[in-house]
Structure 1
């Protein structure tokens, strides 16, 4: 059994190694399959006390494919490489955020 190194954990899936684009695509496919609306958010910090993130453009209401969402993730990464970026899934029936996960952590070393 291996002890995890002392490191700050952020959100859902944060105990895993960084997700590849293929793994992110599977998570986004789940969001779309459930009928949730994907959105991309970014912030300079991922502190647990930080409740408000800036939304990248508008939620992707008309997104039909994972490639559309992943393209916006890539655009956000290139625009804000020093920020944390996450994908969020909104439920339009319950009117709330159902899930979110970090897709980009900046290198601050």
Structure 2
């Protein structure tokens, strides 16, 4: 068996913190983020954009950016909303969520922009 890798992450080091599964993988480029949004749409999940300050990301609810985009299937529009949120709050983390209204839970969640810690 291969040796397990320790991901150095701590509350005291804001830049080291991990968020959701994808943060343990190499950073996603625009094409990979697009593929994840396409997956969310293909599952019929409702996309939503959330944001928060880096120092609050671990122990606070994230703020909603507008209402969830119920029924939205245009990948470009979804990505544009994430980008608009990032431009409005450049210091904040921005994540994209896919809500599964049948399971009444999040089907997907990923940070698409990382803000700069204070």
Which category describes the TM-score, using the shorter chain as reference length?
0.7 to 0.9
Q: List runs of 5+ in structure 2 lacking aligned partners.
A: 9-15
Aligned partners of 2:87, 2:75: CA distance in 1, in Å?
18
**Mapped partners of 1:21, 1:75: distance in 2:** 15
2:44 matched to which residue of 1? 35
Determine the structure 1 residue equivalent to 2:57. Answer: 46
What's the TM-score, normalizing by structure 1?
Answer: 0.85
The answer to whether the 8 A contact 1:18-1:103 is kept is no
Whose helix fraction is larger, Structure 1's or Structure 2's? 2
Matching residue of 2:76: 67
Residue by residue over 1:8-67, the C-alpha shift from the partner in whole angstroms, topping out at 9 and shown as x without a partner, is 2121200123221211110000000011000000011321x33x1111011111312210
Which structure: larger Rg?
A: 2
Looking at structure 1, the residues matched to 81 and 71 of structure 2 have their Cα atoms a distance apart, in angstroms, of 13
- Cα RMSD (Å): 1.9
Aligned mates of 1:78, 1:104 — CA distance in 2: 10
Gaps of 5+ in 1: none
CA contact (8 A) 1:41 1:86 kept: yes
Q: State the partner residue of 2:91.
A: 82
Task: Give the count of matched residue pairs.
Answer: 106
